[in-house]
Chains A and B, each alone.
Chain A
Amino acid sequence: MKRIHHMLESVAQSLNCECQHFQHHSRLSVGHGTRHQDIEVRVVDDDYELTSVVLPTSDVTATADGWRGLARLAWQRNADSDIVTFTFDDRDRLVGRVRHPATTMDIEEMSLYVQSLVRECDRFEYLLSGLDRY
């Protein structure tokens, strides 16, 4: 964990954002213009997994049709964007995610992944809800 903490501290410094560490994950809170976006980073198997929430469970599961429409849209968005995967997590939230093998990731890559995730998820959250909850 030391390595990832060190890496995230560096990224937080370069992006001028807040970084918190918890038992199983770390959280970056990144400002993006007048908006912001939170990112959770954890180690899954041998990968670093960066996740940012786009829509909460209540929005996703409000209607069956709405949920399916979101899935179609997320998969279409996956086809046209880079790096970030839009998917639904185990709590049925719509999230953006990046995974990368832990052993080969450096600070530069981490920073780029964080920025990509912030930008993609914040924009998608805005488009879908008009809000800035995450």
Chain B
Amino acid sequence: MLAANHVAYIADEVGMGKTYVALGVLGLLRHVDSQARAMIIAPRENIQRKWVKELSNFVRVNWRVEDNRFKNLHGAPVRPPVVCDRLHDLAFAMFRHEDCDPVLRMTTFSVAVKDADRRKRYAREIREYAPWLADQLRGVRRPEEFITRLGFAINGLLPELDLLIIDEAHNLRHGFGPRVSNRNRLLAVALGHADPGIEPPDWYRPKARRVLMLSATPFECDYADIYHQLDVLGQRRCRLSINESPDVLAARDLIDGDLSEADRQAIVQRFMLRRVGHLNIAGEPHSKNMYRREWRRGGYSAHDQPMALTDERQRLVVALIQKKVTELLGEERFKNCFQIGMLSSFESFLESLGRRAQKAKTNGQVEDDDEATSAFDLHEQTDDQRERQGVDTSHVEAVAASYRDRFNESLPHPKLDATCSALSDAFVTGEKALVFVRRVATVDELKAKLDRRFDAWIHDRMRAALPSLAEDVDRLFDRYRREQRRRGVGDEIESSAHDELDDVVEDLRHEAYDDEGGIDTFFAWFFRGKGPSKVLSGAAMQKNRFASASTVYSTFFEDDFVAGLLGHPRNVLRALAERLDSDEASLVERLRRIAFAYYEQRTRQKEGYPRLYVYEAYQVAALALLARLRGDLAEHAAVIIDERFDGWGANEAEPPARFPAPSAGLGIRTFVTELQRRPRLREALWPEETRSSFRDAFRRREQRRELLSAMCRLGASYIDLYLTAIGQIGSFESGRQADSDHVSAQLAGRFLDRLEEQRGISTFGAYAELGAAASAFDTIVAVNFPDVPEAPLNELPDLFARTLQHQLPVAGMSGGVNKRVVQQFRMPGFPLVLVTTDVLQEGEDLHTFCRRVIHYGIAWTPSSVEQRTGRVDRIGSLVQRELEGRPSRPDDDELIQVYYPHLTDTIEVLQVRRVLERINKFLRLSHRDVKVTRSYDSRLNVSTEVLRELTEIPRITELLQSAFDDTGSWLDGDLGADAVYEPPVGALEGKLGEIWTQVAAELMLQNVRRRSARLLQASALVHDRTLVRTDAQLPDDCRQQAFTLKMRSQVLGDETLVRCASPVGRLDLRDANVLDQLYDLQRDLGDVRVCARHDARGQQYIVSVEEERLFHLSATQTSEIRQLIERTVVAADVIEQEMLAVDAPVAAIMEASA
């Protein structure tokens, strides 16, 4: 399709993997043309980063062959994806290495040019690289002309693109024209729009040979939207055929009003493919409209019932606000019209004007003049500044201020309060909710109200769990509220406020614990950060007990590997002695010697012997002895040492008399060892791994254990663990519990008892959180921790902790994406509610544990509504996991719940009705056999709308089938003999190995290391600008120079290369003297290939000498490679000597060279 028509549109429903399909297209293109250039444009930053991640993942996992075309010999993309945040980055990328895959975002093209200083900056940035292009911008003052000329300059920079991928292309639906946004204009001209408006330079030309567009919502209610997107992307004249048949249709006809809907659909069918997802439930296919349960009439409590207002004061407030808004809209300037979703009265009464602007500017995210001036998201809905700020905002704020003055409390907000009540059930059920709002202030207000509900919930829970300490709990909450009043809710805790915390242990195990807590909820104040003083808070217990390496709790989540290998005997030491055929006394001595050698290497602490390290020392000592036996047991022990203890080699050292006995590390009782004694609980929380290889099974088991441990310490489960501990201690007083071994074991038992109790009930607690994580472990790893499967096991605690710390029961997001909150929302537990503006509308997957979406602030376009709902409706979603293949019909509560909350007696009904009508139309246009009516405007006229019959907008209930799923003859044809291209990598590895052996025999090399069959390292000895040979006498004054020899893929082609790289060091190439000297040396050495990489940290350049040769099985000779090494290494050594006057230590050089 792309080859024939030059355009294709992947319009699969949300969550079906459009990104991966597009990456597959890119891979196929590179397969047939390895020199093909591509560029990707994502809508916003988080999605831009996601593309980079997904490209790497796709190549690593899904592209099976290291073909030198798409996947290089190291498992990565042959062409590296390069993130370009700003146009300057794009210019730099083009000059430095245009054969990368630039990944941009649409906001890269959102430039602000009203300000002369900004215009000068853009001109300066272009001039920095290409003065001849900057001529375009000289003396141009009119913003529109400047944008066009800047577009010319970028057009000049861009190479011809063989494939342009536009993600969420519907964002370009406003097209190209006189009043179009800066972004669309700049992008269109940069890509070589045929009619840029002013005379273009002679080198100006179309740049995108093929365009692949992606969007689940390619149009709103008119196919013309698609034409406008094509226009921006330089494809408005495209002619569409099927497999080059003479029957050609023109894309331009999509805007021909005389053409029937069916004819226009036929045009779109030529280049659009849309897959519609179905779930198989009770033997029947269900499309999304069937497994989504919509609450269209506004309420929360009973399905499809209006929101009930029983409180008279609330009813009065609604009436008052409606009266004000109606009067306002009745004024001549508004003519009874307003923008859908952009009235403050439906959102929040808090002041927020200018906040968005301030926040966006502070974050450095906004270049566009327009974006920062709206109090609402999706600001492009209107150009009117009053509408962008909410026409009723000042009136609503005046009423709210008057109410506050009169009654000394906040003005009730019935819709907000009802939402808050509905959502607070999440603390009881654990059912997550994703709430979309339009007004930035609503995020803060709704979160604040829900935080108060959470506080009430946790207060009750603590009282119930600790009835004998109920009064102490009340006092804690009094103190917390005083603290809130003193600091102002939401302020950060000052880092110096905890000097009275006298028992802080400084030997924290994981660097990742940098959580400073907060005051927004009791959880943040009491369980996170340093916690309140002079109380054994959750925070203090966490930091001083569980996170410490010294206390009896330090091994609370550790496993006894030795006991496990020996079959969990009652007396582990005795069983070990029997296995080793040794008497216990001799065994103890041997264990002590090996353990102490490990301990010395593990920590420099000479006194106190932190318990965690002693435990590790005895585990590794016993494993080392077992590994010396024969058979499976020995192999398994060796695997554990290799994986868990970094392959530690068993040395011995004389231990001091006070070094603890083996019982400190063998036969210990921890939460993990005790869990293994409770099969049913274990199955639910830490299921056994059944893998064919012990190594794989052990790694998985450890990955699961580390996740379990991190969740128990950092998330909602910690509340249960802490309450259990306090119940055991019987007091909140700091320093009351005794630190003896049995205290930790007893706590493990009690915590497990508590988990057992929770197993039979459905309310939210540690069992529910940990059990859900265990059952969806693979999903969690895939979406949140893609590095975990390959990561060394000792890195897992930090890896999990970085994501799981800073947890919030309720999270809010606007202005930018908080990656950690997003990752936490993809897991069971906190945050249970996520309130957000459109920042999470596209790109982020939030489906893994959430089935509720609340359109609190309704978006005007069906695409936005669908994108928002689509966050929880994706492949692998919670609902899909639960319902797919189920033989019986689910309960209504098990479906995806989509809420459109609004009050019946307000004009909000009109806007919801309008949007629902548009959603229906969108569904009808996208699917087969449905009729279409009316066109709509985003501005709603109250006076005409109220006259329409207030009928309910019916839901479409039949099975949806795509109108664009006809692949026709596109899939005809054979793959052919060259379907898979596979270079002889194994043979080349062998050849490189042979050459290396010969080179090593000829040259005097040191520190020879084969990092892999494709990456070899050594340092050569250099004397008098030649390498020292093995058959020569070793000179006294020779120098050493490290180098690597690496087999790699050619970027511009599919050949295999061998690159020799020898590092020089860091040079300040901004210094003219340094640069001149390097230039002279390069010439002196015979034009060797000097390479410089900018080191952002030190404002310097990392300089090396690197050259390569084609690497062929038959043609490449050893002498060639030796010559390559000699030329490269000698040049690097000379430059190092002349410019740095050092002979760098081999270790440092090897690190740099790696």
Contact = CB atoms under 8 A, between A and B. Distances in A.
Contact of A104 (B1083, B1088, B1117): B1117
A20 interface: no
Interface in B1103-1148: 1103-1104, 1106-1110, 1112, 1115-1117, 1119-1120, 1123
Nearest to B203: A130
A116 to B, nearest CB: 6
Interface stretch (B94-102, B890-898, B985-993): B94-102
A68 B157 contact: no
A123 B1101 CA distance: 24
A46 B132 CA distance: 40
A127 B129 contact: yes
Contact of A116 (B95, B1052, B1087, B1101): B1052
A13 interface: no
Interface stretch (B212-220, B350-358, B681-689, B1089-1097): B1089-1097
Contacts of A76: 96, 1091-1094
Interface in A81-100: 81-83, 85, 87-90, 97, 99-100
B1051 interface: yes
Nearest to A33: B160
Contact of B1051 (A75, A81, A87, A104): A81
Contact of B1069 (A72, A77, A78, A85): A72
B1075 A68 contact: yes
Nearest to A69: B128
Contacts of A33: 160
A72 B1070 CA distance: 9
A112 B1092 CA distance: 25
A104 B1091 contact: no
A12 interface: no
Contacts of A75: 1069, 1090-1092, 1101, 1103
A82 B1108 CA distance: 7
A71 interface: yes
Contacts of B1109: 100
A48 B1083 CA distance: 18
A109 B1109 CA distance: 10
Given A76-B96, A123-B159, A112 B1093 contact: no
A108 B99 CA distance: 23
B97 A81 contact: yes
Given A75-B1090, A106-B1115, A127-B129, A83 B1075 contact: no
Given A64-B1072, A82-B1057, A101-B1119, A88 B130 contact: no
Chain A residues touching B, majority SS: helix
A16 interface: no
Nearest to A119: B1052
Contacts of A89: 1087
Given A90-B1083, A104-B1116, A79 B1075 contact: no
B1052 A82 contact: yes
A127 B1106 contact: no
Given A80-B96, A81-B97, A72 B1075 contact: yes
A128 interface: yes
A109 B1057 CA distance: 12
A81 B97 CA distance: 7
Contact of A79 (B156, B1050, B1072, B1106): B1106
A104 to B, nearest CB: 5
B1083 A88 contact: yes
A127 B1108 contact: no
Nearest to A72: B1069
B125 to A, nearest CB: 14
A50 B99 CA distance: 22
Contacts of A119: 35, 1052
Contact of A112 (B100, B1053, B1079): B1053
B1110 A112 contact: yes
B1055 interface: yes
Interface in A34-90: 64, 68, 71-73, 75-83, 85, 87-90
Interface in B194-213: 203
Nearest to A131: B132
A71 B1075 CA distance: 8
Contacts of B1094: 76
Nearest to A73: B95
Interface of B is mostly: mixed
A128 B1106 CA distance: 24
Most buried by B among A68, A71, A80, A81: A80
A73 B160 CA distance: 22
Interface string B540-572: 000000000000000000000000000000000
A129 B1109 CA distance: 30
A81 B1090 CA distance: 12
B1082 interface: yes
Interface in B151-181: 156-157, 159-160
A109 B1087 contact: no
Nearest to A124: B95
B1095 to A, nearest CB: 12
Contact of B130 (A81, A123, A130): A130
B61 to A, nearest CB: 26
A80 to B, nearest CB: 4
A127 B96 CA distance: 10
A26 to B, nearest CB: 19
Nearest to B1127: A99
B49 to A, nearest CB: 21
Contact of B1115 (A81, A87, A99, A104): A104
B648 to A, nearest CB: 38
Nearest to B1053: A112
Contact of A83 (B130, B132, B1057, B1116): B1057
Contacts of B1087: 85, 87, 89, 97, 99
A71 B1072 CA distance: 11
Interface string B1056-1080: 0100000000000100100110110
B1072 A85 contact: no
Given A79-B1092, A127-B94, A104 B1119 contact: yes
B157 to A, nearest CB: 7
Contacts of A112: 1053, 1055, 1110
B133 interface: yes
Interface in A109-131: 109, 112, 116, 119-120, 123, 127-130
Nearest to A90: B1083
Given A82-B1050, A85-B1107, A128-B130, A77 B95 contact: yes
B1108 A71 contact: no
A101 B108 CA distance: 46
Contacts of B97: 77, 80-81
Interface of A: 33, 64, 68, 71-73, 75-83, 85, 87-90, 97, 99-101, 104, 106, 108-109, 112, 116, 119-120, 123, 127-130
Leading 8 A-B pairs by shortest Cβ distance = A80-B97, A79-B1091, A75-B1092, A85-B1089, A130-B132, A87-B1087, A78-B1091, A75-B1090
Given A75-B1069, A109-B1115, 18 more contacts: A64-B1072, A71-B1079, A72-B1092, A75-B1090, A76-B96, A76-B1092, A78-B1092, A81-B99, A87-B1089, A88-B1079, A88-B1083, A101-B1120, A104-B1120, A123-B98, A127-B94, A127-B129, A128-B130, A130-B130
27 contacts: A68-B1075, A68-B1076, A71-B1075, A72-B1075, A72-B1092, A73-B96, A75-B1090, A77-B97, A79-B1093, A79-B1106, A81-B1052, A87-B1083, A88-B1082, A88-B1083, A101-B1119, A101-B1123, A104-B1115, A104-B1116, A104-B1119, A109-B1110, A109-B1112, A120-B1052, A123-B159, A127-B94, A127-B157, A128-B130, A130-B203
Interface of B: 35, 94-100, 129-130, 132-133, 156-157, 159-160, 203, 1050-1053, 1055, 1057, 1069, 1072, 1075-1076, 1078-1079, 1082-1083, 1087-1094, 1101, 1103-1104, 1106-1110, 1112, 1115-1117, 1119-1120, 1123
